[in-house]
Structure 1
Amino acid sequence: MAALGKRGTISQASDFDAEVDAEKLRAAMKGTGTDEAAIISILTKRTVAQRQEIRDAYKTSVGKDLLDDIKSELTGNFEKVVCAMMMTAPAYDAYELRSAIKGAGTDEACLIEILASRTNAEIKAFTAVYKQEYGRDLEDDISGDTSGMFRRVLVSLATAGRDESTAVDEALAKQDAKEIFDAGEARWGTDEVKFLTILCVRNRNQLVRMFQEYNQISGRDIEDSIKREMSGSLEDVFLAIVKSIRSKPAFFAERLYKSMKGLGTTDSILIRVMVSRSEIDMVDIKAEFLKLYGKSLHSFIKGDTSGDYRKVLLELSGGEI
């Protein structure tokens, strides 16, 4: 749901006409009954940018918000996934973050997934939309809903201050690896601040190099040390940062797998990942899914979902590898 990427499964429709699509969607929803197949065939073959043009054309020609009509015509997870597809990337992230924070309890996993995996530009964009849409400051809401070192890590990520250069400083990689080792495995207790100042700030290439140095020093992958030194949400957020840095496609493949394995399906995660990555790196996520779990993402979706909801997810997945 960001800028169109060649590794996505959704690409721009050729011969696109927003007014024609708007008319077809109106016909699919007016009168008795709903033509779900028409809605699926149009919206799953359009990019987010094209869907916004359709929404504008619909309002001009019908005098109503397309999203409102979709909500009145569809139900359940089918409604949720189609509504998610109709939002811009920053608006969708902002919506998911707000949903994770408001009400009783906090969806820490949602906060971690979004904040640990987005670029600086993406974080700045959804932070601005969050303020505009909800009249609230995202950082303040995170601070009010979380606590301790976990809160400090999330706030650090929300500032969008990560170095995004590609340069690697070999001496710094060695120094950072030793400092993290000294802050964790080499002492009684854990200096979590040291993990924060390195993992939330350094650029991707620098961290990948540091992970290699850490393995040389400690004899362990840094993920293993994080699991040994921390617990709960703090462990989860540091692991998410490391996994996302190593490979975003593998990180999201694991998210999808965990959303569908075992009893029941965590549809909120499944919808969020499928929609948010469909234009960015879904091709790579599918490849990682097959490599990691020995079954295709397509087959998991078919086995864990049903009806029109399943049809939309299969379209977003781009079919079999």
Structure 2
Amino acid sequence: PPPERKMRAVFGPAPADAFGRQLWELANAIACENTQEILKRIVLNVPRFCNPRGIMRMDFIQNELMQKYGEYGFGDLKSDVADKTHGDLKDFMMALLSDRLDFESQALERAMAGFGTDEATLVTILCTLSEEDIIALQMAYSSRYERSMEQAVLSETSGKFKRVLLLAGCDRVGDAYAKVINSAVAGLGTDCKAVIRLLVTATPEQLDAAREAYSRLFKKDLIKAVTSEWAVSGDFKRIVKALAKRHPANVNDDTEMDYSADVQAMRDAVEGMGTDEGAIIDLLANKSHKQIEEFREAYKIATGELLRERIRNETTGLFESRLFRETLMGLLTPRTEQIAIYLKEAFEGWVSNDDWGLISMLVHRTEEEKVEIRTKYTEHYGADLIQDIRSNCSGDYEDALVACIAPKARTIARGIRTVMSGWFTSTNKTGLMALLTHKDDLMPTLRKEFEKEFKGKTLQGVIKKECAGEFEAALVSLASYTPPTGVAERIAAGDEVAPVAAPLPTSYQTIAPQPAYGAPPPQQAYGAPPAGYPADPNYRPQMQRQDSW
């Protein structure tokens, strides 16, 4: 028969403090390859310990378990778990114990490696990146594989789909806008509409970043490159130059402004004989979108007129510049509303969609902007923006554009559903783990969006159907997690006391050591009575000692 598995490894005496004792128990479980106990102590029972203390699960795992495990001298937790686990559970543990961006870089590599490409994983990761994660993910990829993630995407994708992935997931907003403007002015002709879209809707911070990126990427000054075009002339050239020069230092939304002088200056510019286009440019070019809206309201209160309509009338005529007028109309329209208008115009191209217009107006939007843009689109056109994208686009390009404007949680839910449809490939398993791990703060919303996407089926239920064993238990634990909302704030305010001395969860409790006896006690007190003696009604068989797990 096989040798009996050891229940304890030799790590010396357990530390005296409670948490050290738990780490000692975890180290023993790892040494004995007790995968059930490893899973319980690192994943399943952690929320019951950290949530009442206002600590997020991943923060506890990485900042407490992993760090303290090494500080107590038990070794490196990630390496030890990798040595003692196998198969899907090992892959899951590596995803959980790895840096988030490092594991996402591995998921991207597997999605692009070998025959075919896992487009769903590429879309879900690259089209939902926050601005601060774009370069960090590229550095994580380069650090692991010593090659460029952008070059990998270029070689494994094509067409408009490739363009979306590069601008949304490989370029920061300044780089993306610089490339859009360069495309507008490169070659024969000038796409003035593309220039207007970006100058009207970009914030001063984004425009400043675009100028820096344009100089770095194309060794030219953005303003000179645009204004030197033959199609950019007259008043249109003047307003393009003024808008491109906007700098964050000259715009302060937090400062309360008195617009009475500006209102009078605008009245002087549009009333009487002729129109002072230079004065209009000066009044609008150095204001933020918020300040322009406040200025419009102040003008309406003072004059009873709509500034947008007054300027439209003043700049409409045989000798007036259409491009200049369109730029002014864009500036005098609320920003998210104007983005919605540009998107509708992009669907209504002469022959096909204006793809540069769609992409440039959809990438690098915050979650708040996504909601506002979709709302304004519905208010204006009585249609849903995502539905119109699906009606006018197709394939992976369609999915990428939808991911840029849909809520992040919905895109991840859609990605989970897609990777589950090809469950038996390792790439899809990696994609699934990348989409579920490190999502603690998003998980309650993700569960709701998954039910919408999967027609009422729950995320936990689908995982149970598709997976099995310890891997299933691990994924269900992730999907069931709810972060401790407001606990840390209540503890800091003194409204709630952290359960520092509270009992640990059952799996963290340990059995007190048995007292040492100098000699074995009489057999009659512990075993069954000898034959021929009457049975003892109070006799109970002795329970065999068990470890804390």
1:35 corresponds to 2:34: yes
- Whole-Å separation in 2 of the counterparts to 1:188 and 1:36: 60
Aligned to 1:177: 340
Aligned to 1:143: 154
Task: For residue 203 of structure 1, report the CA deviation from its aligned partner.
Answer: 4.0
Aligned to 1:235: 398
Q: Trace 1:121-200 onto structure 2 (pairs within 5 A).
A: 121-157=132-168, 158-161=170-173, 170-185=333-348, 187-200=350-363
Task: For residue 135 of structure 1, report the CA deviation from its aligned partner.
Answer: 1.5
- Whole-Å separation in 2 of the counterparts to 1:105 and 1:262: 13
- Whole-Å separation in 1 of the counterparts to 2:163 and 2:382: 29
- Whole-Å separation in 2 of the counterparts to 1:319 and 1:138: 32
Which shifted more, 156-165 or 310-319? 156-165
User: Helix, strand or coil: the match of 1:280?
Assistant: helix
Task: For residue 275 of structure 1, report the CA deviation from its aligned partner.
Answer: 0.9
The alignment's C-alpha RMSD in Å is: 3.4
1:107 corresponds to 2:118: yes
Instruction: Provide structure 2 residue ranges, at least 5 long, that are not aligned to the other structure.
Output: 1-16, 47-56, 175-201, 206-252, 254-288, 294-332, 483-549
Which shifted more, 81-90 or 204-213? 204-213
- Deviation readout 1:248-292 (Å, 9 max, x if unpaired): 233333333444469879533432222131x22112222333466
Q: Quick one: structure 1 residues 295 and 202, their matched pair in 2 at CA, closer, same or farther if it must change by over 3 Å?
A: closer
Q: Quick one: structure 1 residues 186 and 137, their matched pair in 2 at CA, closer, same or farther if it must change by over 3 Å?
A: closer
Task: For residue 58 of structure 1, report the CA deviation from its aligned partner.
Answer: 5.4
- Larger RCO, structure (CA 8 Å, separation 6 or more): 1
Which shifted more, 37-46 or 216-225? 216-225
Q: Quick one: structure 1 residues 184 and 112, their matched pair in 2 at CA, closer, same or farther if it must change by over 3 Å?
A: same
- Whole-Å separation in 2 of the counterparts to 1:105 and 1:319: 34
8 Å CA contact 1:185–1:229 kept in 2: the answer is: no
- Deviation readout 1:79-109 (Å, 9 max, x if unpaired): 2211110101121222212222233332221
Aligned to 2:412: 252
- Deviation readout 1:40-72 (Å, 9 max, x if unpaired): 112112525633664456567456x54444334
- Whole-Å separation in 1 of the counterparts to 2:467 and 2:415: 16
Task: Look at both structures and tell me which one has the larger radius of gyration over its CA atoms.
Answer: 2
The letter of the residue matching 2:371 is V
- Whole-Å separation in 1 of the counterparts to 2:115 and 2:421: 26
Task: For residue 204 of structure 1, report the CA deviation from its aligned partner.
Answer: 3.8
- Deviation readout 1:20-40 (Å, 9 max, x if unpaired): 555434322335xx2112111
Q: Quick one: structure 1 residues 251 and 145, their matched pair in 2 at CA, closer, same or farther if it must change by over 3 Å?
A: closer
Q: Quick one: structure 1 residues 283 and 205, their matched pair in 2 at CA, closer, same or farther if it must change by over 3 Å?
A: closer
- Which of 460, 469, 472 pairs up with 1:307? 469
Aligned to 1:26: 27
Which shifted more, 209-218 or 105-114? 209-218
8 Å CA contact 1:131–1:138 kept in 2: the answer is: yes
- Whole-Å separation in 1 of the counterparts to 2:93 and 2:163: 34
Aligned to 1:274: 436
- Whole-Å separation in 2 of the counterparts to 1:263 and 1:104: 17
Q: Identity over aligned residues, as a percent?
A: 24
User: Helix, strand or coil: the match of 1:294?
Assistant: coil
Aligned to 2:459: 297
- Whole-Å separation in 2 of the counterparts to 1:87 and 1:144: 27
- Whole-Å separation in 1 of the counterparts to 2:358 and 2:352: 13
- Whole-Å separation in 1 of the counterparts to 2:142 and 2:173: 19
The letter of the residue matching 1:161 is V
Q: Quick one: structure 1 residues 186 and 310, their matched pair in 2 at CA, closer, same or farther if it must change by over 3 Å?
A: same
Aligned to 1:5: none
- Whole-Å separation in 1 of the counterparts to 2:370 and 2:67: 43
Task: For residue 238 of structure 1, report the CA deviation from its aligned partner.
Answer: 0.4
Task: For residue 187 of structure 1, report the CA deviation from its aligned partner.
Answer: 3.9
Aligned to 1:74: 85
The letter of the residue matching 2:173 is G
The letter of the residue matching 2:480 is G
- Whole-Å separation in 1 of the counterparts to 2:437 and 2:106: 13
Task: For residue 200 of structure 1, report the CA deviation from its aligned partner.
Answer: 0.8
Q: Alignment length, in residue pairs?
A: 299
Aligned to 1:222: 385
- Whole-Å separation in 2 of the counterparts to 1:260 and 1:236: 17
Q: Quick one: structure 1 residues 259 and 129, their matched pair in 2 at CA, closer, same or farther if it must change by over 3 Å?
A: closer
User: Helix, strand or coil: the match of 2:353?
Assistant: coil
- Whole-Å separation in 2 of the counterparts to 1:16 and 1:141: 48
- Deviation readout 1:220-261 (Å, 9 max, x if unpaired): 212122112222211110011121xxx323333333344446
8 Å CA contact 1:52–1:86 kept in 2: the answer is: no
Which shifted more, 138-147 or 294-303? 294-303
- Whole-Å separation in 2 of the counterparts to 1:96 and 1:41: 25
- Whole-Å separation in 2 of the counterparts to 1:261 and 1:222: 27
- Deviation readout 1:111-152 (Å, 9 max, x if unpaired): 111111121122232222222222222222222222222222
8 Å CA contact 1:48–1:88 kept in 2: the answer is: no
Task: For residue 207 of structure 1, report the CA deviation from its aligned partner.
Answer: 3.7
8 Å CA contact 2:447–2:459 kept in 1: the answer is: yes
- TM normalised by structure 1 equals 0.78
- Whole-Å separation in 2 of the counterparts to 1:48 and 1:137: 30
Instruction: Provide structure 1 residue ranges, at least 5 long, that are not aligned to the other structure.
Output: 1-14
Task: For residue 189 of structure 1, report the CA deviation from its aligned partner.
Answer: 1.1
Aligned to 2:58: 47
- Whole-Å separation in 2 of the counterparts to 1:83 and 1:204: 30
Q: Quick one: structure 1 residues 139 and 48, their matched pair in 2 at CA, closer, same or farther if it must change by over 3 Å?
A: farther
User: Helix, strand or coil: the match of 2:441?
Assistant: coil
8 Å CA contact 1:22–1:55 kept in 2: the answer is: no
